[in-house]
Amino acid sequence: MGATGSAESGESGGPAEEEAVVRAAVAVDTVGDVPRARPRRRGRTAAMLAAAAVLGVVAGACTGYLVQAGRAPTALPPLSQPVVAQARGEAEPLSAVQDRRVRTDGDLRKLLIPRPKGTEDNPLAVDDEGWADLAAYAERYKGPASTFDSLIDDEFRRAAVTSWRVGDAYTVDIALVQFRQESKPAASEWAENGDYWADKEGDTRRWPLPGTGEGTGAVYVHDAPERKAGYLPLYSAEAHAWRGDIYMEIHVYGSEPIAKAKIMDLAERQVGKL
């Protein structure tokens, strides 16, 4: 009978053995008669929430598709539009007040300030009835060859010039240089170049030119004269500005210091005509 009992216990524990296992598990999970909480598996709740969110999005998309599919199609607007009657005749061109290109594309010499009464011709001026071609304008600079090349690269169009002399006191030289400006803003670049070299000289005073935007016009007075043996000291003042496709430069030379009021008056009046 003992052998039989041990064989039966090997095949199956029976009710008594199962009860013993349960009691042992309860005893392990109990410390001081206080049951301990069993650890929970992680990630199962998050996975269930993510799956529910995906199902919600899919269900919403399907519902929206079904609702939209059940609606009648919206009619498109007609392709034909009302015919606008064409105006007869030709449109009147804009005036110079409405379009400054009307003024600047005309005779550029008319934009130069008039020569004051009582003044004389400047014998050193390069003037061909108020015009200076590319070569003649380049000769005004210390490096005419390089200036000539720069003018070609910068799409030189034309230059209107005027010059006069007031006795032996001083001379005035004004040039309006127009560029085609198809590839670069050459007028502003030449004004900046003039400002750079004018400001580079010593004993120089500078003022912004009224009537121009910030950085687009300035007036300079050089207090230190240029001295050369056998000649009187040469004082100078200058102004540089640009507007649109036109670069303006003014130079005043004299045997006496040039007053700020003189160069400023000339520059203001000339910019006013642009």
Residue 273 burial (10 A CB sphere; 0-12, 13-18, 19+)? middle
Residue 185, CA atoms < 13 Å, CB-side half-sphere: 9
Contact between 259 and 172 under an 8 Å Cβ cutoff? The reply is no
pLDDT at 14: 56
pLDDT at 74: 80
Question: Model pTM greater than 0.85?
Answer: no
- pLDDT, tens digit, 9 for 90 and up, residues 76-108: 777 777 777 777 777 666 665 555 666 678 899
pLDDT band at 19 (very low <50, low <70, confident <90, very high): low
pLDDT band at 6 (very low <50, low <70, confident <90, very high): very low
pLDDT band at 255 (very low <50, low <70, confident <90, very high): very high
Contact between 108 and 158 under an 8 Å Cβ cutoff? The reply is yes
CA dist 151 → 15, 136, 249, 250 (Å): 113, 12, 15, 18
Helical segments of the chain, H only: 2-11, 14-28, 44-70, 100-104, 134-138, 144-153, 186-200, 260-272
- pLDDT, tens digit, 9 for 90 and up, residues 143-200: 999 999 999 999 999 999 999 999 889 999 999 999 999 999 999 999 999 999 999 9
Q: Output phi, psi for 32, to 5 deg.
A: 60, 40
